[in-house]
Structure 1
Amino acid sequence: MTYILNIETATKNCSVAISKDGKTILCKEMAEEGYSHAEKLHVFINEILSEIEISCKDLSAVAVSQGPGSYTGLRIGVSAAKGLCFALDIPLIAIDTLEVLASQIKVTNGIIIPMIDARRMEVYSAIFDSKLNKIREVRAEIIEEDSFSTFDLPIYFVGDCASKCKTVLTKENFIFLEDKIYPSAKEMCALSYEKFRNNDTVDVAYFEPYYLKDFVGTFSKK
């Protein structure tokens, strides 16, 4: 019996799920403009463990969304995951955030392009086939009229970029699934269990989120 705690904080969605042998048992999540991850993450973890009546000691591993995404959100999620793994002496599993987002939809043909907003017309994106095999690596890219124009297959876009991208990406084979906005820990459960079975884990001490771009802070003028 394998219980894995799955943590997804790469976007505005603060999401936590517990899986048993790869199946989602319970998920708690909240997406807010103000990024409530610091306040909600540990509350969700404690509530889930309590509701399914297990303790941290019953966990076989912790999985965390590795990015790309919000610098602050990723730091909060990874710090929590690493702290639990260190204290419990259990493995840490890192899951590609864009793969988590792409996993929300099931299609029989075409390709899936998950996108996470990176401000202005820039997005973090990757390309998957209908079987969720990654056919193009993660990139930070500026969306332009000819972006993805080399594909003639149906292209399904998921993520929080629909409103800014659909006015630019207007080809007939471009399909925006606007109800699939944020990655969720629910979709991490099968992915993390597969990695656990294959002993595909990361070093708790040295693992860092995949930011893709350097963090640029802002400072108030005095």
Structure 2
Amino acid sequence: MSIILSLETSTHVCSVALHADGTLLASAVTYREQSHASKLAVLIDQVLQLADVTMAQLSAVAVSSGPGSYTGLRIGTSTAKGLCYALNIPLIGVGALDSLAWAAGPFNTLQALLCPMIDARRMEVYCQLLDAQYGIVGPVEAKVIDTESFREALEAGPVLFFGNGAAKCQGVIQHKNAFFLADVHPTADTVGKLAWEKFQRNGTEDLVTFEPFYLKEFMIKTPVKQEVAAEANKTV
């Protein structure tokens, strides 16, 4: 029996799950913003205790590989890699948009194109188009949303938008074929299901080189006071 511990930290939701041969044993989740650093280890302990499983029994650790929150992905990846190094077990990366699409799939009664969206601040989202069977229709991209976004796909048929980036797009994308699904998040439950499929195909990661898929550079903002001081120093 193969037991996989899964971590999902790509959005504000932090979740952990434990699967045995693809069957869910236990899961735990917190919806608190910026709680990943303080809660991830606690959630891991919870699911292990609930399932009466020890660290030594783990066959692999799966982690959301992004795109998503820079800080969340760093915390999830460093935790997963640390466990894999310590236990000498493989790491499995699962795309956050894939996980999100599979979470929404059961609600896709229209057999529409699936468009998972993860918030990337302002009117930008990380997104991808997939068909109703999760086949890739378009690339993963960081997309600034306007009234013309997804026009070609929407003219061809229904598109289902969901994820924490979709709500802010609902007032902008108003085509008759645009449908929105609320309260769908990438979860460790779904990461674990997809990880089990990859594990059977030996789809593991290189522990040394694996890094999250950030999609775009992390921007560090300089406080306004520091910017003013820097400009003053230039003129001296």
TM-score (norm 1): 0.96
Q: Which runs of 5+ in 2 are unaligned?
A: 227-236
SS of 2:211's equivalent?
coil
Aligned partner of 2:231 in structure 1 is none
CA distance in 2: counterparts of 1:48 and 1:32, whole angstroms? 18
Aligned partner of 1:155 in structure 2 is 159
Offset, 1:179: 2.3
Offset, 1:102: 0.7
Native 8 Å contact 2:146 2:173 kept in 1? yes
Aligned partner of 1:137 in structure 2 is 139
Offset, 1:23: 1.7
Offset, 1:82: 0.2
- RMSD over aligned CA atoms reads 1.1
Offset, 1:26: 1.1
- Name which of 199, 202, 205 aligns with 1:199: 202
Aligned partner of 1:23 in structure 2 is 23
SS of 1:104's equivalent?
helix
SS of 1:137's equivalent?
coil
TM-score (norm 2): 0.90
Offset, 1:162: 3.0
Q: Larger C-alpha radius of gyration, 1 or 2? A: 2
Native 8 Å contact 2:7 2:64 kept in 1? yes
Q: Residue 96 in 1 paired to residue 95 in 2?
A: yes
The number of equivalent residue pairs is 220
CA distance in 2: counterparts of 1:163 and 1:140, whole angstroms? 16
CA distance in 1: counterparts of 2:176 and 2:3, whole angstroms? 43
Q: Which runs of 5+ in 1 are unaligned?
A: none
CA distance in 2: counterparts of 1:138 and 1:192, whole angstroms? 19
Aligned partner of 1:51 in structure 2 is 50
* 1:9-65 residue CA offsets vs partner (Å, 9 max, x unmatched): 0110111000111122211111123x1000000011011111211111111100000
Report matched runs for 1:141-220 at 5 Å.
Answer: 141-151=143-153, 152-180=156-184, 182-220=185-223
CA distance in 2: counterparts of 1:161 and 1:195, whole angstroms? 27
* 1:63-83 residue CA offsets vs partner (Å, 9 max, x unmatched): 000000111000000000000
CA distance in 2: counterparts of 1:179 and 1:160, whole angstroms? 8
Q: Residue 77 in 1 paired to residue 80 in 2?
A: no
CA distance in 2: counterparts of 1:6 and 1:154, whole angstroms? 32
Following TM superposition, the consecutive aligned residue runs of length 4 or more in structure 1 with deviations greater than 6 angstroms are none
Question: Which protein is richer in strand relative to its size?
Answer: 1
CA distance in 2: counterparts of 1:75 and 1:112, whole angstroms? 27
Aligned partner of 1:63 in structure 2 is 62
Offset, 1:218: 2.5
CA distance in 2: counterparts of 1:100 and 1:149, whole angstroms? 25
CA distance in 1: counterparts of 2:136 and 2:45, whole angstroms? 34
